[in-house]
Chain A
Amino acid sequence: MAKERILEVENLTVAFKTYGGSVQAVRGTDFYLDKGETLAIVGESGCGKTVTAKAIMGLLPIDNTTIGNENSKIMFNGRNLIKLTEGELADLRGKEISMIFQDPMTSLNPTMRIGEQIAESVLIHNQISKEKAKEIAIKMLKLVQIPNPEERYKQYPFEFSGGMRQRVMIAIALACDPKILIADEPTTALDVTIQAQIMKLINELKKDLDTGVILVTHDLGVVAGAADRIIVMYAGKIVESGRTEDIFYNLKHPYTYALLQSVPKLTKDTSKKLYSLQGTPPDLIDPPKGCGFAPRCDFAMKICSIKTPEKTTFAEGHEAYCWLHHEKANTQGVPELILTRGESSGK
């Protein structure tokens, strides 16, 4: 199936200057997004997933931040977003690429009517009348399944619950029919019952509007339900990427393994001890040499903390960066799942 590629990121790097030195938040990532697909970026906090998303949106602070080097590209609509000026980026934001954030409580202006906030985002990017903008706003409220949209239009954010506010945020983000929606931990601040509703809404809207979604999250449950493809990030780098089935049923990196194992499963018996990752992600002010995960990896070898592992391809689009796949690797004790070669059993 030939899909339209709408975003292509190559060798993205982001560094923040601080007094202690430069923090290498993202250390060279390559990925792409097709039209109408959901790409999940998964990892622990500080792994660079949110920074990656913000770099695409051009939302990183300008001072003390270095985005990309001469080989870096964020290609969208034939333009390299890294090279754009702040003004050009502002035109794209909200129109072509939109973002929703973790906290629906602080993302809305408390003194402005809900409907007007949606209408405003339409007016910024389109030369249309206020009446038309209002019409679109009400249509959007309907789209995100808020009951009585005409009445709700006139209300203020404090009259909305957390889940409702996140719906409004989605309405604002989608009001200009963007090509890409970036959802940064969209349900982390919400209760499970509300989370289920919001994720369902995002999935439905994605299908209806054919928007490309980048879902940034640490919750693998959410990913399992929503993503088409997954990128697993650790210490500013991609450690594994592949289709959702590849990552869940045929994973090839010990970090992915650890992430999945550390989630308790309701369906499984719980007398067994939960697998847990020891330690803390590295401080990216001096990133570890070699593989960033090596200090916390059960199966680490000497080479892991000396040389950066190379890419191993397992299936189309399923790649992992790990020394365990080298022919000389010491695979003693490594789960069979990580080592086996072959097509994912998922489909």
Chain B
Amino acid sequence: MANKTITVEVKDLKKYFMLPTKKYLKAVDGVSFNIYKGETLGLVGESGCGKTTCGKTILGLYDATAGEVNFDGFSVHKKSKKERKDFTKRAQIIFQDPYSSLNPRMTVGDIIAEGIDIHGIHNGKDRKDKLFELISMVGLNKEHISRFPHEFSGGQRQRIGIARALAVEPEFIVCDEPISALDVSIQAQVVNLLIDLQKKKNLTYLFIAHDLSMVKYISDRVGVMYLGNLVEITSSHQLYRDPKHPYTKALLSSIPIPDPKIERNKKIIPLEGEVSSPINPIAGCKFASRCSLAKDMCRNQVPTLKEVDNQHFVACHFIDRI
């Protein structure tokens, strides 16, 4: 792991949204991590934890409130217009909602070729050939090119979204909950497609999801977010074998397991208490209000990520005790 090239470097990234009440919603509140070339970093957490905002800010779809994102050594947020356009060829995104992410007035062919048209990569017959290549790569065929998105199922639409992202031949793709809206059987189909494409094209993924079992399957490393902060990050194997942070433990215990004997006898660690608000978060650890181990210290002092094991980082004051 040590001598891997860093593709994306996120340094103390913050993204606040101003609300109509002039207060700030701290969606991402100081997050740092690296994504290495050719790996898949999973980012998990419950809705509202800022994982999607984090992914979109990394791509420059949102301006950063503070902190830095470096892609291949260059700052994403300090690029000129031209540089930013070139950057879009190298870094792409796949969206969560297969329904709102495809323009209902465009044909599937035009949707997939959008990146090709914007950057003028292929023209005429070239474009057509590339389109056929892309559409068959995601398991659809020629007859689908002239159709409109509303005729497709969720899984098919998600594959169209993947083809669109791949059209510009990027190196890095943010997969923003690409399977959350899909049926279980179709999830496997999309995830397998993503893995195959990664192998074939040496892609780097940031895989955002709330489904931990799928994340474990696809990711090399996994980061767990809670209310805008990264609370734990390590290899996916390590995270599931030996979760350290109390939140990660609760999260893992809640995953339903498709095996009646195990599912009916497993112990769920319940999460009590109110979720603290991302608008007025408490001074200390944001998980303190729901944590059974919380002490006064947790409510006053923000814990930082500490390496507790080889490449296993946890942000908790009482890491030694758990």
A interface residue numbers (CB < 8 A to B): 44-46, 161-162, 191-197, 199-200, 218-225, 244-245, 248, 258-260, 262-267, 270, 273-281, 346
* B189 & A277 in contact (Cβ 8 Å cutoff): yes
* A278 & B139 in contact (Cβ 8 Å cutoff): yes
* B192 & A274 in contact (Cβ 8 Å cutoff): yes
Among B139, B189, B275, the most chain A Cβ lie within 10 Å of the Cβ of: B189
Complex-state Cα separation, A44 to B154, whole angstroms:
11
A-B contact count (CB 8 A): 129
Complex-state Cα separation, A264 to B185, whole angstroms:
10
Complex-state Cα separation, A220 to B260, whole angstroms:
10
Residue B257 is within 8 A (CB to CB) of chain A in the complex: yes
A/B interface sample: 24 pairs, CB < 8 A: A191-B210, A192-B46, A193-B46, A196-B270, A221-B257, A222-B256, A225-B264, A245-B260, A248-B259, A248-B260, A259-B184, A263-B184, A263-B188, A263-B258, A264-B217, A265-B257, A266-B257, A267-B257, A270-B236, A274-B217, A276-B188, A276-B192, A277-B186, A281-B153
* B258 & A192 in contact (Cβ 8 Å cutoff): no
* A264 & B214 in contact (Cβ 8 Å cutoff): yes
Instruction: Indicate which residue in B46, B47, B256, B275 contacts A225 across the interface (CB closer than 8 Å).
Output: B256
Instruction: Indicate which residue in B210, B216, B270 contacts A192 across the interface (CB closer than 8 Å).
Output: B210
Complex-state Cα separation, A277 to B211, whole angstroms:
19
Instruction: Indicate which residue in B139, B185, B212, B256 contacts A196 across the interface (CB closer than 8 Å).
Output: B256
Contacts A264-B213, A265-B257 hold; do A193 and B184 have CB atoms under 8 A apart? no
* A273 & B192 in contact (Cβ 8 Å cutoff): yes
- B side interface size, CB within 8 A: 45
Q: Which of B270-320 contact A (CB under 8 A)?
A: 270-271, 275
Residue B88 is within 8 A (CB to CB) of chain A in the complex: no
B contact residues around A275 at 8 Å (CB): 188
Complex-state Cα separation, A44 to B156, whole angstroms:
14
Contacts A196-B268, A224-B263, A258-B185 hold; do A263 and B251 have CB atoms under 8 A apart? no
Name which residue of chain A comes closest to B252, CB basis. A266
Complex-state Cα separation, A259 to B184, whole angstroms:
7
Closest 10 CB pairs of A and B: A221-B256, A262-B188, A276-B188, A220-B258, A264-B217, A191-B46, A196-B254, A224-B263, A225-B263, A44-B183
Among A191, A192, A275, A276, the most chain B Cβ lie within 10 Å of the Cβ of: A192
Instruction: Indicate which residue in A191, A219, A221 contacts B47 across the interface (CB closer than 8 Å).
Output: A191
Q: Which of B219-258 contact A (CB under 8 A)?
A: 236, 240, 250-258
Minimum CB–CB distance for B8 against chain A, Å: 23
Minimum CB–CB distance for B12 against chain A, Å: 27
